[in-house]
Chains A and B, each alone.
Chain A
Amino acid sequence: MLTSSSKKSSLTWLVHLSVFLLVLIWTIPTAGLFVSSIRDKDQLSVSGWWTALASSEQKVVYRTPVPDSQIQEADQYVLKGNLFADSNASVSAFGFSSLKPDAFVVGSTATMKKGKTLTVQANGDYVVTSPVPFTKRGQRIFYTADVPPRFTLDNYREVLGSEGLAKSFINSLTVTIPSTVIPILMAAFAAYALAWMRFPGRALLLVTVVGLLVVPLQMSLIPLLKAYNFIGESFGVGSKTYLGIWLAHTAFGLPLAIYLLRNYIAGLPGEIIESARVDGASDFDIFRKIVLPLSFPALASFSIFQFLWVWNDLLVAMVFLGNNEEQLVLTGRLRELLGSRGGNWEILTASAFITILVPLAVFFALQRFLVRGLLAGSVK
């Protein structure tokens, strides 16, 4: 008895540990992205994000301000100041030439050419002296500093402003909202008809919908691109319009929407619908007053699906919407940044995080419906 229970508890611990490890593996990538996006960009490029809380060693060049502030002490002209404007880093070594940037320890005095001297303290205070007045340019100081962790929203400020992410954000919304609402409306009516109305060809239509569920988007792209170009030219409106991409997303979302909603609506109790019919309701009344309110969970599930899919889509946006500043959606913008700013991780991480912020919020707020929809769509 004792062995069996201790064996059981060790197994339980193993399960706890394994799940913990798996969760760690699955969340670390996103966590890394987030942490990196709020780090100082200089620190980000020289140290891993997992060291974000430790101070980092940086090799920096500083140039003293233009020598207006020099003062004369005895026969020496003196420049005083602090290397750090706003942080409380500490200097470990310094120098005056790029060849030997860490030649001197803090507190010591370096003697430079023409009788000039340089002293740097650990807290960044420096003193430069010269027998002759300083002219024109300031003195360069090389130093190695331990910089304490610094978190900032600068990266976000930058990508939202100069990198145009704010605009893309609005573009994404403009694409996503109608592309979510319109297919729901169309699919709900179609699903009701397929579930509860009698008309010739119903079975065939249903089979078609099921078949189209798996048709790859790629199959449609080239003919549609040609058609859009043709229509754009014929009417002189250009081929890349919001209307165009709404319709495309609507259509591409329809098979899943119809399938999901039909399954749900067909599962509603038949007697309720018959009862409404006996009560004198037409199919339109039944749909509006009975079926639509009762299908709320299914409608919610599908809208989350469609929202995530449209928001995260790159392919359809790249084909049916322009790649210009005006129309670029977030995913397209990310892809562009990946090309032009491939090495600037502060830009990439902040942009990526902005992009995934909305879907993540939707995901965590409405996970319940998403799961329900997934189950309705695939199980059984």
Chain B
Amino acid sequence: MADLTLTNVKKVYANSVEVLRDINLDIKQGEFIVFVGPSGCGKSTLLRMISGLEDISAGTLEIDGQVVNDIPPALRGIAMVFQSYALYPHMSVYDNMAFSLQIAKENKANIDKQVRKAAEMLQLTPYLDRLPKALSGGQRQRVAIGRAIVRRPKVFLFDEPLSNLDAALRVATRMEIAALKEKMPESTMIYVTHDQVEAMTLADRIVLLSNGNIEQVGAPLELYEQPANVFVAKFIGSPAMNILPVTINKVGSQTNLAIDATTSVNLPLQLDKKEEGKKAQLGIRPEDFTMTALHKNDVLISGEIAFVEALGESTLFHVKTELHDELVIAKFPGVWDIQRGDALALAAPAEKLHLFAADGNNYSQ
């Protein structure tokens, strides 16, 4: 019922800066989609184009099969929750929630019913007469959501709704939003954030953007386990995936990679003959490393520990290797009695390794 389709959508500003290039995306009714990416990647612009607050420079946006490029926000059947909540400071909570219905000239009884229903759902009933300034951050956030619910939109748009909350409240509100989605399974939600944890925990599908392009679309674990390219690989997961320069030694039923003059590793991956001898990039997540001893032959990487971050539940080792300038990070659960300056040998299971071509794309896709 509320499918949303973006076809070749572009955004070009007056000074001919391209912020979004050729976006194609299909969103099904009832999906929870998260746009994620570093700041300046165009994710907020994309959301604002869907909302109608920004013009679409080229391409089409369809909601339920209807092209809505020229339709104003209010008639698109969307509702939006802003980063700053954007509550009307001079109106009570009730009036804030009722505003859109009053503008649409709905009858009073109906407005009242909708507002009270939403307030009930969000536990805002005791605060209906208050002004926004008399509410806590989390309550304001709920009013902003309530204001969206009251309109019964086909699509909910969230623009970084949690970034103004402190850490503890952010977790609580995140779960509230997840619960809200459970209660309204039929409505489509599009959520913008720069925080990968929010993206991973909330999304049915993540849309990862960078520099105006979609890097990958997929379920959260799909992005984690099968990143389409180095960018996605490094963006999802914390600490970020280690990327090592390697050379493809031999292709065949397995791919043999030369890590340095003496070390090589076999990957369960079949590659084209023409790839042989090419430079490539090997990705290993810090948490996929296992510890080994220097003399063993499963050693993948070895080096001197540049520094240690003991976090309690886990320990991060930053290892200086001969392979390249960047430190390799390894993450092991628990506390370890290993000091800075000690030598460390690391191994990793072959199936956890990711191989990317020199241009950054994943070989396995």
- Tell me if chains A and B make direct contact, with any CB pair below 8 A: yes
Contact A271 B86 (CB under 8 A): yes
A175 CB to nearest B CB, Å: 33
B219 CB to nearest A CB, Å: 29
Contact B104 A276 (CB under 8 A): no
Closest to B48 in A: A274
**Is B202 in contact with chain A by the CB < 8 A criterion?**
no
Given A271-B82, A285-B103, A277-B73 contact (CB < 8 Å): yes
**Is B24 in contact with chain A by the CB < 8 A criterion?**
no
Contact B80 A278 (CB under 8 A): yes
**Is A115 in contact with chain B by the CB < 8 A criterion?**
no
Contact A276 B80 (CB under 8 A): no
Pick from A275, A293, A294: contact of B82, CB below 8 A.
Answer: A275
Given A290-B88, A293-B90, A278-B79 contact (CB < 8 Å): yes
A276 CB to nearest B CB, Å: 7
**Is A281 in contact with chain B by the CB < 8 A criterion?**
yes
Contact B86 A272 (CB under 8 A): yes
Q: A276: which B residues are within 8 A, CB to CB?
A: 88, 99
Contact A275 B103 (CB under 8 A): no
1/0 per residue, CB under 8 A from B, across A33-68: the answer is 000000000000000000000000000000000000
Contact A275 B80 (CB under 8 A): yes
Which residues of B in the span 49-86 have a Cβ within 8 Å of any Cβ on A?
51-53, 72-75, 78-80, 82-86
Contact A279 B99 (CB under 8 A): yes
**Is A280 in contact with chain B by the CB < 8 A criterion?**
yes
Q: How far is the CA of A281 from the CA of B100 in the complex (A)?
A: 7
**Is A201 in contact with chain B by the CB < 8 A criterion?**
no
Q: How far is the CA of A278 from the CA of B52 in the complex (A)?
A: 8
Q: How far is the CA of A64 from the CA of B89 in the complex (A)?
A: 77
Per DSSP, are chain B's interface residues mostly helix, strand or loop, or mixed?
Answer: loop
Q: How far is the CA of A274 from the CA of B49 in the complex (A)?
A: 12
Per DSSP, are chain A's interface residues mostly helix, strand or loop, or mixed?
Answer: helix
Closest to A279 in B: B100
Given A269-B86, A293-B90, A274-B103 contact (CB < 8 Å): no
Q: How far is the CA of A274 from the CA of B85 in the complex (A)?
A: 11
Given A271-B82, A278-B73, A278-B79, A294-B104 contact (CB < 8 Å): no
Pick from A277, A278, A280, A293: contact of B104, CB below 8 A.
Answer: A280
A54 CB to nearest B CB, Å: 57
Contact B78 A278 (CB under 8 A): yes
Q: B89: which A residues are within 8 A, CB to CB?
A: 272, 294
Given A278-B78, A279-B103, A272-B53 contact (CB < 8 Å): no
Given A275-B80, A278-B73, A278-B74, A294-B90 contact (CB < 8 Å): yes
Q: How far is the CA of A274 from the CA of B54 in the complex (A)?
A: 10
Q: A278: which B residues are within 8 A, CB to CB?
A: 51-53, 73-74, 78-80, 100
A278 CB to nearest B CB, Å: 4
A284 CB to nearest B CB, Å: 11
A290 CB to nearest B CB, Å: 6
Closest to A281 in B: B103
8 interchain pairs (CB within 8 A)?
Answer: A272-B89, A275-B86, A278-B78, A279-B103, A279-B147, A279-B151, A281-B74, A293-B90
Please provide the 10 A-B residue pairs with the shortest distance between their CB atoms, ordered closest to farther. Answer: A280-B74, A279-B100, A271-B86, A275-B86, A271-B82, A278-B73, A280-B103, A293-B90, A272-B86, A278-B80
Apart from A271-B85, A278-B51, 4 more pairs, CB < 8 Å: A271-B86, A272-B86, A278-B100, A279-B103
